[in-house]
Amino acid sequence: MAKIIVVASGKGGVGKTTVTIGLGKALAAGGARVLLVDFDHLRSVDLMLGAAEDVVFDWGDVVLGRCAVEEALLQAQGVSFFACPPSYDGITARQVRALITQAEPHFDYILCDAPAGIGTGLVLAAAAAQRAIVVATPDLVCVRSACRAARELESLGVKSSRLVINRAVRSDIRRKRLLNIDDVIDSTGVQLIAIIPEDKRLRTAGMEGGVYLRNQLSYEAFTNLAGRVQGRNVPLMYLFI
């Protein structure tokens, strides 16, 4: 059975899609079969995988009976993915669960990339998930909203959430300009699973070969995150802080 994980945040633009793709590709590099499902109408997954031109059908077309699942299921950079429909009109959580149940036997991990906030997109992205990863940058507003998203996920039945701190900058954290990592953990009440450093190569990842490349500063952090998601006892990387 696949492990189904929703990747969420309260605030937008904190790196959910980057983390979804980085984690997905790291899991795939270790031999896992990985499916990414985009739940954000902005459709960043196919773009960041450099496969926007390949998309003809999305998962909405599948659940609404407009195409076969094989027509919407695409592959890029070692992972499979479904693009997001332009609207959720007429789409229910039950249909999403049915789609993911259908895909489940073919994958080891299914990562559902949620949109920002706690609206319909999150409800659908969480519909089949057993666990959640909430992403925050190390600042108070972001951490509070991640905490809120974790609570919302709990009320949607996703009881187990882990926190990823993204875009951590050593010098800022040292000078206490940003929230200290320990404060972040305390204020979310959600256990930390990874710290991903600020990586200038990720800022342009959509245009320059993508996320999770060996020459990127964040490469090892994603490898370690994948190890922990797989239940291995990989120490948390505090080294660069």
As a three-state string, the secondary structure of 204-227 is CCCCCCCCCCCCCCCHHHHHHHHH
Which single residue is written with the structure tokens 């959640």?
A: 132
| Binding residue (CB under 6 A) for ligand ADP from 14, 63, 123, 134 | 14
Identity of the residue, 4 or 48, whose beta carbon is nearer to ligand ADP in the bound complex:
48
Q: Count residues contacting ligand ADP (CB under 6 A)?
A: 18
Q: Is 162 in the site for Mg ion (CB under 5 A)?
A: no
Q: Is 122 in the site for ligand ADP (CB under 6 A)?
A: no
Give the CA count within 13 Å in the CB-facing half-sphere of 216.
25
DSSP string, 104-152: GGG-SEEEEEPPSSSSHHHHHHTTT-SEEEEEE-SSHHHHHHHHHHHHH
Identity of the residue, 104 or 172, whose beta carbon is nearer to ligand ADP in the bound complex:
172
Q: Within positions 167 to 206, which residues make up the interface with ligand ADP, using CB under 6 A? A: 167, 196, 198-199, 202-203, 205
The Cα 94–Cα 184 span in angstroms is: 35
- What's the start-to-end Cα distance of the chain, in Å? 37
Q: Is 119 in the site for ligand ADP (CB under 6 A)?
A: no
Q: Within positions 132 to 171, which residues make up the interface with ligand ADP, using CB under 6 A? A: 166-167
Give me 151's structure tokens: 């609570």
Q: Within positions 3 to 62, which residues make up the interface with Mg ion, using CB under 5 A? A: 16-17, 40, 44
> Binding residues for ligand ADP, per CB under 6 A?
9, 12-18, 44, 166-167, 196, 198-199, 202-203, 205, 218
